[in-house]
Amino acid sequence: YLTRPIDQHELTARLRTQVRRKRYNDQLRGSVTQTIEMAITDSVTGLHNRRYLDSHLPTLFDRAVTRGRPLSVMITDVDLLKLVNDTYGHDAGGDVLRECALRLRKHVRAIDLACVYGGDEFVVVMPDTDSTVAAKVAEHIRAKIAQMPFAVGQEAKTIEVTVSIGVSSVLTGADTVAGLVKRADVALYNAKNGGRNRVIVNLG
Protein backbone atom coordinates (compact mmCIF):
# COMPACT_ATOMS: atom_id res chain seq x y z
CA TYR A 1 0.00 0.00 0.00
CA LEU A 2 1.11 3.52 -0.74
CA THR A 3 0.43 6.39 1.64
CA ARG A 4 -0.60 9.82 0.40
CA PRO A 5 0.95 12.02 -0.74
CA ILE A 6 2.73 9.57 -3.03
CA ASP A 7 6.48 9.83 -2.96
CA GLN A 8 7.76 9.58 -6.53
CA HIS A 9 11.05 7.96 -5.50
CA GLU A 10 9.26 5.38 -3.37
CA LEU A 11 6.85 4.62 -6.20
CA THR A 12 9.72 4.14 -8.66
CA ALA A 13 11.57 1.88 -6.22
CA ARG A 14 8.49 -0.26 -5.64
CA LEU A 15 7.80 -0.57 -9.35
CA ARG A 16 11.38 -1.65 -9.97
CA THR A 17 11.06 -4.25 -7.22
CA GLN A 18 7.87 -5.62 -8.79
CA VAL A 19 9.49 -5.73 -12.23
CA ARG A 20 12.51 -7.61 -10.84
CA ARG A 21 10.24 -10.02 -8.99
CA LYS A 22 8.18 -10.72 -12.11
CA ARG A 23 11.32 -11.20 -14.20
CA TYR A 24 12.67 -13.65 -11.64
CA ASN A 25 9.38 -15.58 -11.52
CA ASP A 26 9.25 -15.74 -15.32
CA GLN A 27 12.81 -17.05 -15.44
CA LEU A 28 12.02 -19.62 -12.76
CA ARG A 29 8.89 -20.74 -14.59
CA GLY A 30 10.83 -21.01 -17.84
CA SER A 31 13.55 -23.01 -16.14
CA VAL A 32 11.03 -25.45 -14.68
CA THR A 33 9.33 -25.85 -18.07
CA GLN A 34 12.68 -26.45 -19.75
CA THR A 35 13.65 -29.03 -17.12
CA ILE A 36 10.37 -30.89 -17.58
CA GLU A 37 10.78 -30.79 -21.37
CA MET A 38 14.33 -32.15 -21.10
CA ALA A 39 13.10 -35.00 -18.89
CA ILE A 40 10.66 -36.23 -21.55
CA THR A 41 12.63 -35.43 -24.72
CA ASP A 42 15.30 -37.53 -26.43
CA SER A 43 18.46 -35.42 -26.70
CA VAL A 44 19.54 -36.84 -30.08
CA THR A 45 16.33 -36.74 -32.11
CA GLY A 46 14.14 -34.22 -30.30
CA LEU A 47 11.29 -36.76 -30.15
CA HIS A 48 9.60 -37.71 -26.90
CA ASN A 49 11.48 -40.40 -25.00
CA ARG A 50 10.55 -43.81 -23.60
CA ARG A 51 9.44 -42.30 -20.29
CA TYR A 52 6.89 -40.13 -22.08
CA LEU A 53 5.67 -43.09 -24.13
CA ASP A 54 5.25 -45.28 -21.05
CA SER A 55 3.18 -42.60 -19.31
CA HIS A 56 0.91 -41.78 -22.28
CA LEU A 57 0.35 -45.05 -24.16
CA PRO A 58 -1.86 -46.60 -21.43
CA THR A 59 -4.13 -43.53 -21.53
CA LEU A 60 -4.47 -43.68 -25.31
CA PHE A 61 -5.05 -47.43 -25.14
CA ASP A 62 -7.76 -47.14 -22.46
CA ARG A 63 -9.49 -44.35 -24.38
CA ALA A 64 -9.56 -46.46 -27.56
CA VAL A 65 -10.91 -49.53 -25.76
CA THR A 66 -13.54 -47.56 -23.83
CA ARG A 67 -14.81 -45.80 -26.95
CA GLY A 68 -14.52 -48.82 -29.21
CA ARG A 69 -12.12 -46.97 -31.48
CA PRO A 70 -9.13 -48.40 -33.36
CA LEU A 71 -5.57 -47.75 -32.20
CA SER A 72 -2.37 -48.90 -33.89
CA VAL A 73 1.28 -49.01 -32.89
CA MET A 74 4.23 -48.91 -35.27
CA ILE A 75 7.76 -49.84 -34.18
CA THR A 76 10.49 -48.71 -36.57
CA ASP A 77 14.06 -50.01 -36.40
CA VAL A 78 16.97 -48.49 -38.33
CA ASP A 79 18.58 -51.29 -40.32
CA LEU A 80 22.29 -51.92 -39.72
CA LEU A 81 22.83 -48.82 -37.58
CA LYS A 82 25.67 -50.59 -35.79
CA LEU A 83 27.46 -50.92 -39.12
CA VAL A 84 27.06 -47.16 -39.68
CA ASN A 85 28.52 -46.49 -36.22
CA ASP A 86 31.42 -48.88 -36.80
CA THR A 87 32.18 -47.53 -40.28
CA TYR A 88 31.62 -43.80 -39.94
CA GLY A 89 31.54 -43.21 -36.17
CA HIS A 90 28.82 -42.59 -33.61
CA ASP A 91 28.31 -38.99 -34.75
CA ALA A 92 27.24 -40.36 -38.13
CA GLY A 93 24.90 -42.76 -36.35
CA GLY A 94 23.40 -39.78 -34.55
CA ASP A 95 22.93 -38.01 -37.89
CA VAL A 96 21.05 -41.05 -39.19
CA LEU A 97 18.77 -41.15 -36.14
CA ARG A 98 18.02 -37.42 -36.40
CA GLU A 99 17.18 -37.63 -40.09
CA CYS A 100 15.04 -40.74 -39.58
CA ALA A 101 13.15 -38.95 -36.82
CA LEU A 102 12.68 -35.89 -39.05
CA ARG A 103 11.30 -37.90 -41.95
CA LEU A 104 9.09 -39.95 -39.65
CA ARG A 105 7.66 -36.84 -37.99
CA LYS A 106 6.90 -35.27 -41.39
CA HIS A 107 4.65 -38.16 -42.35
CA VAL A 108 2.56 -38.71 -39.23
CA ARG A 109 -0.34 -36.63 -37.95
CA ALA A 110 -0.24 -34.11 -35.14
CA ILE A 111 -2.39 -36.43 -33.00
CA ASP A 112 0.05 -39.33 -33.45
CA LEU A 113 2.55 -39.88 -30.66
CA ALA A 114 6.10 -40.35 -32.00
CA CYS A 115 8.74 -41.43 -29.48
CA VAL A 116 12.19 -42.94 -29.24
CA TYR A 117 11.79 -46.52 -28.04
CA GLY A 118 15.38 -47.74 -27.88
CA GLY A 119 18.81 -46.94 -29.25
CA ASP A 120 17.78 -47.40 -32.87
CA GLU A 121 14.00 -47.80 -32.58
CA PHE A 122 11.06 -45.42 -32.80
CA VAL A 123 7.45 -45.98 -31.81
CA VAL A 124 4.46 -44.18 -33.28
CA VAL A 125 1.09 -44.55 -31.54
CA MET A 126 -1.76 -43.82 -33.96
CA PRO A 127 -5.20 -43.13 -32.45
CA ASP A 128 -8.29 -43.80 -34.57
CA THR A 129 -6.19 -45.83 -37.02
CA ASP A 130 -6.87 -49.45 -37.95
CA SER A 131 -4.26 -51.94 -39.14
CA THR A 132 -4.95 -51.34 -42.85
CA VAL A 133 -4.36 -47.60 -42.64
CA ALA A 134 -1.43 -48.06 -40.24
CA ALA A 135 0.23 -50.43 -42.70
CA LYS A 136 -0.10 -47.83 -45.48
CA VAL A 137 1.41 -45.13 -43.25
CA ALA A 138 4.26 -47.45 -42.30
CA GLU A 139 4.97 -48.31 -45.92
CA HIS A 140 4.95 -44.62 -46.84
CA ILE A 141 7.48 -43.85 -44.10
CA ARG A 142 9.65 -46.82 -45.08
CA ALA A 143 9.73 -45.59 -48.69
CA LYS A 144 10.49 -41.97 -47.73
CA ILE A 145 13.46 -43.07 -45.65
CA ALA A 146 14.81 -45.43 -48.30
CA GLN A 147 14.37 -43.22 -51.37
CA MET A 148 16.83 -40.44 -50.48
CA PRO A 149 20.40 -40.98 -49.16
CA PHE A 150 21.39 -39.54 -45.79
CA ALA A 151 24.23 -37.01 -45.40
CA VAL A 152 26.34 -37.98 -42.38
CA GLY A 153 29.48 -36.76 -40.65
CA GLN A 154 31.40 -33.51 -41.06
CA GLU A 155 32.13 -34.35 -44.69
CA ALA A 156 28.40 -34.90 -45.35
CA LYS A 157 29.07 -38.28 -46.93
CA THR A 158 25.86 -39.76 -48.35
CA ILE A 159 24.81 -43.28 -47.40
CA GLU A 160 21.77 -45.43 -48.07
CA VAL A 161 19.55 -46.05 -45.03
CA THR A 162 16.58 -48.37 -44.68
CA VAL A 163 14.21 -49.25 -41.85
CA SER A 164 12.15 -52.26 -40.85
CA ILE A 165 8.70 -51.67 -39.37
CA GLY A 166 6.34 -53.79 -37.29
CA VAL A 167 2.67 -52.83 -36.92
CA SER A 168 -0.08 -54.01 -34.59
CA SER A 169 -3.56 -52.80 -33.65
CA VAL A 170 -5.81 -53.11 -30.63
CA LEU A 171 -7.75 -56.36 -30.73
CA THR A 172 -11.47 -56.46 -30.03
CA GLY A 173 -12.19 -58.22 -26.79
CA ALA A 174 -9.41 -58.86 -24.31
CA ASP A 175 -6.22 -56.95 -25.08
CA THR A 176 -3.51 -55.17 -23.11
CA VAL A 177 -0.92 -52.48 -23.70
CA ALA A 178 1.81 -55.08 -23.26
CA GLY A 179 0.13 -57.36 -25.78
CA LEU A 180 -0.25 -54.56 -28.32
CA VAL A 181 3.43 -53.61 -28.10
CA LYS A 182 4.55 -57.25 -28.06
CA ARG A 183 2.72 -57.99 -31.31
CA ALA A 184 4.33 -54.98 -33.00
CA ASP A 185 7.70 -56.11 -31.69
CA VAL A 186 7.18 -59.62 -33.09
CA ALA A 187 6.18 -58.10 -36.44
CA LEU A 188 9.36 -56.01 -36.39
CA TYR A 189 11.43 -59.11 -35.62
CA ASN A 190 9.85 -60.88 -38.61
CA ALA A 191 10.56 -57.86 -40.83
CA LYS A 192 14.23 -57.89 -39.80
CA ASN A 193 14.53 -61.64 -40.29
CA GLY A 194 12.68 -61.44 -43.59
CA GLY A 195 15.40 -59.33 -45.17
CA ARG A 196 14.92 -55.86 -43.63
CA ASN A 197 13.56 -52.76 -45.41
CA ARG A 198 9.97 -53.97 -45.16
CA VAL A 199 6.73 -53.61 -43.20
CA ILE A 200 5.09 -56.52 -41.41
CA VAL A 201 1.65 -56.29 -39.79
CA ASN A 202 0.77 -58.57 -36.89
CA LEU A 203 -2.99 -59.09 -36.82
CA GLY A 204 -2.77 -61.14 -33.63
Mean pLDDT by 10-residue block, N- to C-terminus, for the chain (204 residues)? 62 77 62 56 94 95 96 98 94 96 96 94 98 98 97 90 98 93 98 98 92
In eight-state DSSP terms, residue 80 is T
Cβ proximity of 204 and 187 under 8 Å: no
Task: State residue 6's pLDDT score.
Answer: 62
- The full set of domain ranges for the chain reads 1-39, 50-202
H or E segment to which residue 165 belongs? strand 163-169
Q: Are 92 and 153 in contact (CB under 8 A)?
A: yes
Backbone angles phi, psi at 70, to 5 degrees: -70, 155
Q: List, in sequence order, every residue forming a beta bridge with 163; answer none if it has no partner.
A: 78
Four-point Cα dihedral 88, 94, 96, 100, nearest 10: 170
The whole-angstrom separation of Cα 157 and Cα 132 is: 37
**pLDDT value at position 3?**
55
CATH topology of domain 50-202: Alpha-Beta Plaits (3.30.70)
- Looking at residue 29, what is its pLDDT? 59
